[in-house]
Amino acid sequence: MVMNYAPGSEKNPKLVEQKRADNENNLEWLLRAFNALKGKEPLAQSYILLLGGTDTLSWRIRAGQSQLRFDMLPSYWSTSALLCANAENVDKSKVLHIPLFQPQGGVFATERNGVVESPVSIFKDSEHWKNIALIAFPKAQEDVLNLLPHFQRGRNYIDALEHILRWLAFAWGVARTPTPINDGIGLPTACMLESLYSGAGMDLTPGLETRASSPEAIWATASRWYKHFENNKLKMPKGRFCTPDSYNINDGHKKPSGRANKSTED
Protein backbone atom coordinates (compact mmCIF):
# COMPACT_ATOMS: atom_id res chain seq x y z
CA MET A 1 0.00 0.00 0.00
CA VAL A 2 1.61 3.24 -1.18
CA MET A 3 0.09 6.72 -1.00
CA ASN A 4 0.79 7.98 -4.52
CA TYR A 5 1.16 11.64 -5.19
CA ALA A 6 -1.73 13.18 -7.08
CA PRO A 7 -0.80 13.24 -10.79
CA GLY A 8 0.86 16.50 -11.69
CA SER A 9 0.22 18.03 -8.28
CA GLU A 10 2.51 20.53 -6.67
CA LYS A 11 3.06 20.84 -2.97
CA ASN A 12 0.30 22.67 -1.16
CA PRO A 13 1.26 26.37 -1.17
CA LYS A 14 -0.74 26.89 2.04
CA LEU A 15 1.33 24.37 3.97
CA VAL A 16 4.28 26.43 5.13
CA GLU A 17 7.42 25.61 7.07
CA GLN A 18 7.61 27.46 10.38
CA LYS A 19 10.97 26.94 12.01
CA ARG A 20 11.37 26.99 15.75
CA ALA A 21 12.87 30.03 17.37
CA ASP A 22 15.84 29.47 19.67
CA ASN A 23 14.79 27.59 22.83
CA GLU A 24 11.16 27.60 21.70
CA ASN A 25 9.01 24.79 23.07
CA ASN A 26 6.12 23.24 21.18
CA LEU A 27 3.44 25.25 22.99
CA GLU A 28 5.14 28.48 21.97
CA TRP A 29 5.51 27.18 18.41
CA LEU A 30 1.86 26.12 18.41
CA LEU A 31 0.70 29.58 19.48
CA ARG A 32 2.50 31.15 16.51
CA ALA A 33 1.10 28.54 14.15
CA PHE A 34 -2.46 28.91 15.43
CA ASN A 35 -2.34 32.69 15.16
CA ALA A 36 -1.17 32.37 11.55
CA LEU A 37 -4.01 29.97 10.65
CA LYS A 38 -7.01 31.00 12.72
CA GLY A 39 -8.46 33.75 10.51
CA LYS A 40 -11.49 35.76 11.60
CA GLU A 41 -13.46 32.73 12.82
CA PRO A 42 -10.96 30.33 14.42
CA LEU A 43 -13.51 27.63 15.28
CA ALA A 44 -15.16 27.64 11.85
CA GLN A 45 -12.38 25.21 10.97
CA SER A 46 -10.81 22.34 12.88
CA TYR A 47 -7.20 21.54 13.64
CA ILE A 48 -5.17 18.34 13.49
CA LEU A 49 -1.82 18.02 15.19
CA LEU A 50 0.86 15.73 13.76
CA LEU A 51 3.91 14.92 15.86
CA GLY A 52 7.06 12.90 15.40
CA GLY A 53 8.79 11.58 18.49
CA THR A 54 12.38 10.49 19.02
CA ASP A 55 11.89 7.49 21.35
CA THR A 56 12.09 3.87 20.21
CA LEU A 57 8.32 3.38 19.99
CA SER A 58 8.02 6.50 17.83
CA TRP A 59 10.83 5.24 15.59
CA ARG A 60 9.06 1.90 15.09
CA ILE A 61 5.79 3.64 14.21
CA ARG A 62 7.48 6.07 11.85
CA ALA A 63 9.33 3.23 10.13
CA GLY A 64 6.13 1.18 9.99
CA GLN A 65 4.49 3.84 7.86
CA SER A 66 7.32 3.87 5.32
CA GLN A 67 5.23 1.45 3.22
CA LEU A 68 3.00 4.42 2.39
CA ARG A 69 5.86 6.48 0.97
CA PHE A 70 7.17 6.05 -2.55
CA ASP A 71 10.73 6.54 -1.25
CA MET A 72 10.19 3.99 1.57
CA LEU A 73 11.74 6.34 4.13
CA PRO A 74 10.36 6.64 7.67
CA SER A 75 7.46 8.99 8.15
CA TYR A 76 8.06 12.27 9.91
CA TRP A 77 5.09 11.45 12.12
CA SER A 78 4.50 8.99 14.93
CA THR A 79 1.17 10.26 16.25
CA SER A 80 -1.71 12.62 15.61
CA ALA A 81 -4.39 14.34 17.65
CA LEU A 82 -7.47 16.47 17.27
CA LEU A 83 -6.81 19.87 18.81
CA CYS A 84 -9.86 21.02 20.76
CA ALA A 85 -8.80 24.59 20.32
CA ASN A 86 -9.29 27.18 23.01
CA ALA A 87 -9.20 30.18 20.71
CA GLU A 88 -8.35 32.58 23.53
CA ASN A 89 -5.64 30.47 25.19
CA VAL A 90 -4.27 27.90 22.79
CA ASP A 91 -1.76 26.60 25.32
CA LYS A 92 -4.74 25.67 27.55
CA SER A 93 -6.38 23.61 24.80
CA LYS A 94 -7.15 19.91 25.05
CA VAL A 95 -6.36 17.19 22.55
CA LEU A 96 -8.30 14.04 21.72
CA HIS A 97 -6.20 11.04 20.85
CA ILE A 98 -5.92 7.26 21.26
CA PRO A 99 -2.52 6.59 22.83
CA LEU A 100 -0.97 3.17 22.41
CA PHE A 101 -0.28 3.20 26.15
CA GLN A 102 -3.71 3.58 27.71
CA PRO A 103 -3.89 5.40 31.06
CA GLN A 104 -4.54 3.54 34.29
CA GLY A 105 -7.74 4.21 36.16
CA GLY A 106 -10.71 6.19 34.95
CA VAL A 107 -13.26 4.86 32.48
CA PHE A 108 -12.28 1.45 31.11
CA ALA A 109 -10.91 1.64 27.56
CA THR A 110 -13.74 -0.45 26.08
CA GLU A 111 -16.31 2.19 27.07
CA ARG A 112 -14.55 4.96 25.15
CA ASN A 113 -12.96 2.98 22.29
CA GLY A 114 -9.57 4.03 23.60
CA VAL A 115 -10.20 7.79 23.25
CA VAL A 116 -8.38 9.95 25.80
CA GLU A 117 -8.64 13.69 26.40
CA SER A 118 -5.33 15.24 27.45
CA PRO A 119 -3.93 18.75 27.87
CA VAL A 120 -2.02 19.85 24.78
CA SER A 121 0.93 20.44 27.13
CA ILE A 122 1.76 16.71 26.93
CA PHE A 123 3.43 17.60 23.62
CA LYS A 124 5.35 20.60 24.98
CA ASP A 125 8.82 19.02 24.89
CA SER A 126 10.42 19.97 21.56
CA GLU A 127 13.39 17.68 22.18
CA HIS A 128 11.13 14.63 22.41
CA TRP A 129 8.52 15.74 19.85
CA LYS A 130 10.94 17.25 17.35
CA ASN A 131 8.59 17.18 14.38
CA ILE A 132 5.31 19.05 14.64
CA ALA A 133 2.59 20.22 12.28
CA LEU A 134 -0.71 22.02 12.78
CA ILE A 135 -3.14 21.64 9.89
CA ALA A 136 -6.47 23.47 9.62
CA PHE A 137 -9.21 21.63 7.73
CA PRO A 138 -12.43 23.22 6.40
CA LYS A 139 -14.84 21.70 8.91
CA ALA A 140 -16.10 23.52 11.98
CA GLN A 141 -14.64 22.21 15.22
CA GLU A 142 -18.09 21.68 16.73
CA ASP A 143 -19.26 19.61 13.74
CA VAL A 144 -16.30 17.26 14.17
CA LEU A 145 -16.57 16.99 17.96
CA ASN A 146 -20.29 16.19 17.77
CA LEU A 147 -19.41 12.84 16.20
CA LEU A 148 -17.15 11.73 19.06
CA PRO A 149 -19.79 9.86 21.13
CA HIS A 150 -20.75 7.84 18.07
CA PHE A 151 -17.13 6.80 17.55
CA GLN A 152 -16.66 5.92 21.21
CA ARG A 153 -19.67 3.60 21.11
CA GLY A 154 -18.96 2.27 17.63
CA ARG A 155 -16.42 -0.51 18.11
CA ASN A 156 -18.35 -2.66 15.65
CA TYR A 157 -17.34 -0.12 12.97
CA ILE A 158 -13.77 0.63 14.03
CA ASP A 159 -12.35 -1.21 16.99
CA ALA A 160 -9.54 1.13 17.96
CA LEU A 161 -8.41 -1.28 20.68
CA GLU A 162 -7.59 -3.91 18.06
CA HIS A 163 -5.47 -1.31 16.28
CA ILE A 164 -3.65 -0.52 19.53
CA LEU A 165 -2.77 -4.18 20.09
CA ARG A 166 -1.64 -4.73 16.49
CA TRP A 167 0.66 -1.69 16.54
CA LEU A 168 2.12 -2.57 19.94
CA ALA A 169 2.79 -6.12 18.74
CA PHE A 170 4.63 -4.72 15.74
CA ALA A 171 6.52 -2.12 17.76
CA TRP A 172 7.60 -4.68 20.36
CA GLY A 173 8.46 -7.38 17.81
CA VAL A 174 5.90 -9.85 19.15
CA ALA A 175 5.50 -13.11 17.21
CA ARG A 176 7.10 -11.68 14.07
CA THR A 177 4.20 -9.24 13.61
CA PRO A 178 4.65 -7.21 10.39
CA THR A 179 3.69 -3.58 10.06
CA PRO A 180 -0.11 -3.40 10.38
CA ILE A 181 -0.17 -0.96 7.45
CA ASN A 182 0.25 -3.93 5.12
CA ASP A 183 -2.99 -5.42 6.48
CA GLY A 184 -4.89 -2.15 6.21
CA ILE A 185 -4.73 -1.53 9.97
CA GLY A 186 -4.07 2.16 10.56
CA LEU A 187 -2.90 4.08 13.61
CA PRO A 188 -5.84 4.36 16.01
CA THR A 189 -5.95 8.15 16.42
CA ALA A 190 -5.76 8.70 12.66
CA CYS A 191 -8.63 6.24 12.20
CA MET A 192 -10.64 8.15 14.79
CA LEU A 193 -9.98 11.39 12.91
CA GLU A 194 -10.96 9.78 9.64
CA SER A 195 -14.21 8.55 11.17
CA LEU A 196 -15.12 11.90 12.75
CA TYR A 197 -14.48 13.89 9.59
CA SER A 198 -16.32 11.35 7.46
CA GLY A 199 -19.34 11.62 9.74
CA ALA A 200 -19.15 15.40 9.40
CA GLY A 201 -19.28 15.04 5.62
CA MET A 202 -15.62 15.39 4.62
CA ASP A 203 -13.25 12.74 3.27
CA LEU A 204 -10.01 13.37 5.16
CA THR A 205 -7.86 10.98 3.09
CA PRO A 206 -9.58 10.35 -0.25
CA GLY A 207 -9.41 6.81 -1.56
CA LEU A 208 -8.25 5.30 1.71
CA GLU A 209 -10.37 3.16 4.01
CA THR A 210 -11.18 4.76 7.34
CA ARG A 211 -9.64 1.86 9.26
CA ALA A 212 -6.37 2.19 7.30
CA SER A 213 -5.57 5.83 8.05
CA SER A 214 -2.33 7.08 9.58
CA PRO A 215 -0.47 10.32 10.31
CA GLU A 216 1.48 9.82 7.08
CA ALA A 217 -1.75 9.49 5.08
CA ILE A 218 -3.16 12.68 6.61
CA TRP A 219 0.11 14.48 5.81
CA ALA A 220 0.07 13.22 2.23
CA THR A 221 -3.48 14.48 1.75
CA ALA A 222 -2.73 17.93 3.14
CA SER A 223 0.53 18.32 1.26
CA ARG A 224 -0.17 16.60 -2.08
CA TRP A 225 -3.87 15.77 -2.50
CA TYR A 226 -5.11 19.22 -1.53
CA LYS A 227 -6.82 19.79 -4.89
CA HIS A 228 -9.32 17.13 -3.86
CA PHE A 229 -10.79 19.80 -1.58
CA GLU A 230 -10.96 22.39 -4.35
CA ASN A 231 -12.66 19.87 -6.63
CA ASN A 232 -15.30 19.34 -3.96
CA LYS A 233 -15.79 23.09 -3.50
CA LEU A 234 -14.09 23.15 -0.10
CA LYS A 235 -11.32 25.38 1.12
CA MET A 236 -7.85 23.92 0.85
CA PRO A 237 -6.23 22.71 4.07
CA LYS A 238 -3.61 25.09 5.37
CA GLY A 239 -0.93 24.56 7.94
CA ARG A 240 2.43 25.16 9.54
CA PHE A 241 5.08 22.52 10.13
CA CYS A 242 8.57 21.96 11.46
CA THR A 243 10.38 18.72 10.58
CA PRO A 244 14.03 18.85 11.68
CA ASP A 245 14.20 15.13 12.53
CA SER A 246 14.56 12.77 9.56
CA TYR A 247 17.15 10.26 10.93
CA ASN A 248 19.70 11.73 8.50
CA ILE A 249 19.14 9.01 5.91
CA ASN A 250 21.00 9.77 2.69
CA ASP A 251 21.10 7.33 -0.22
CA GLY A 252 22.53 9.73 -2.77
CA HIS A 253 19.35 11.57 -3.65
CA LYS A 254 18.19 14.96 -2.48
CA LYS A 255 16.87 14.97 1.04
CA PRO A 256 13.24 13.82 0.87
CA SER A 257 10.88 16.38 2.16
CA GLY A 258 7.83 16.71 4.18
CA ARG A 259 8.69 20.29 3.35
CA ALA A 260 6.17 22.22 1.37
CA ASN A 261 7.12 25.88 1.39
CA LYS A 262 9.55 27.87 3.38
CA SER A 263 8.01 30.43 5.65
CA THR A 264 8.42 34.08 4.85
CA GLU A 265 7.56 34.84 8.46
CA ASP A 266 10.87 33.80 10.04
Within 10 angstroms of residue 83's Cβ, the number of other Cβ atoms is 23
Least confident of 76-90, 180-194, 251-265: 251-265
Beta bridge partners of 137: 46
Give yes or no for a contact between 193 and 211, defined as CB atoms under 8 angstroms apart: no
Beta bridge partners of 12: none
Region 104-127 average pLDDT:
94
Taking only Cα atoms into account, the Rg of the chain, rounded to an integer number of angstroms, comes to 17
What does the pLDDT read at residue 9? 61
Q: What is the percentage of the chain residues whose pLDDT exceeds 90? A: 76
Query: What tens digit of pLDDT does each residue of 198-256 get?
Result: 999 999 998 788 899 999 999 999 998 888 888 888 899 999 999 999 877 777 666 54
What does the pLDDT read at residue 207? 79
Give yes or no for a contact between 227 and 6, defined as CB atoms under 8 angstroms apart: yes
Query: What tens digit of pLDDT does each residue of 65-74 get?
Result: 998 888 889 9
What does the pLDDT read at residue 152? 96
Q: Pairing relation of β-strands 129-137 and 116-119?
A: unpaired
pLDDT tops 60 at residue 196: yes
How far is it, in rounded angstroms, from Cα 14 to Cα 16? 6
| Nearest residue to 78 (alpha-carbon basis) of 118, 131, 26 | 131
